[in-house]
Amino acid sequence: MKRTKYRYYDLMMAAFVAVLLCSNLVGVHKVSSVELPFYGTYIYGAGVLFFPLSYLFGDVLTEVYGYARSRKVIWAGFGALIFASLMAFVVTSLPAASTMSVEQQNAVNLIFGQTPRIVGASLLAFWTGEFANSFVLAKLKIFTNGRFLWTRTIGSTIAGEFVDSAVFYPVAFLGTWSNEQVISVMIGNYFIKVIWEVLATPFTYKVVGFLKRAEQEDFYDRETDFNPFKIET
């Protein structure tokens, strides 16, 4: 692939990793609810409101810069998640000083403590979901010959979030939650993520249009090696 210096690629990578870390660390323990007509009380994890931003960034990166450069960003995010999980484990395992109350220590452990099963499920779901999203968008761009951007952003999110949800919830909670609860939460959160992407489509159009003009790039993955384990671009 031709080596090109881009003005905003590094910024997009940093934004992607920041959104990914914040959505996994800040919102993961907060459970909220909303009253819906004809349904009643709908309970959801607060992180689901922000995690789809990582898919929006993934769509933009693949659409403008291509699958190979998006793949590099996905691996950067994957590495950041591994480090954050390792840091959380070390911090919560350290003995508390006498100046720290039991309540403070319990709060830190509650917020940052993660079981290996949840960590493994999160990493596997992120990796498979993001690569599915990027792959589908790249292929749809070729199939549509660059037209109908909305079909790619929404179609790739439908595929990527489906893989993410289908991996995370069973791996993380099957056996500890009832089968009905796993399926209910998985389906409910999946539709929130997809609807979020649909509503964000006008914003995605603006960002993609700006970047294509600024970078003078509109990459098509006609000869791309889609092996997810390659890092170089």
Cβ–Cβ < 8 Å for 174, 229: no
CA atoms within 13 A on the CB side of 114: 25
Task: Please tell me the chain's helix, strand, coil percentages from 3-state DSSP, rounded to the nearest 5.
Answer: 70, 5, 25
* pLDDT, one tens digit for every residue, the chain (233 residues): 456 789 999 999 999 999 888 887 776 667 778 888 887 887 777 777 888 888 999 999 999 999 999 999 999 999 999 999 899 889 888 888 888 888 888 888 877 877 788 889 999 999 999 999 999 999 999 999 999 999 999 999 999 999 999 999 999 889 888 898 889 888 888 988 899 989 999 999 999 999 999 999 999 999 999 999 987 76
Q: What is the pLDDT of residue 5?
A: 84
Q: What is the pLDDT of residue 50?
A: 84
Q: What is the pLDDT of residue 27?
A: 67
Could you tell me the pTM of the whole model?
0.89
Q: What is the pLDDT of residue 212?
A: 97
Q: What is the pLDDT of residue 217?
A: 95
Q: Measuring CA to CA, how many Å separate 111 from each of 19, 25, 29, 106?
A: 18, 8, 7, 9
Cβ–Cβ < 8 Å for 34, 48: no
Residues facing 34 on adjacent strands: 42
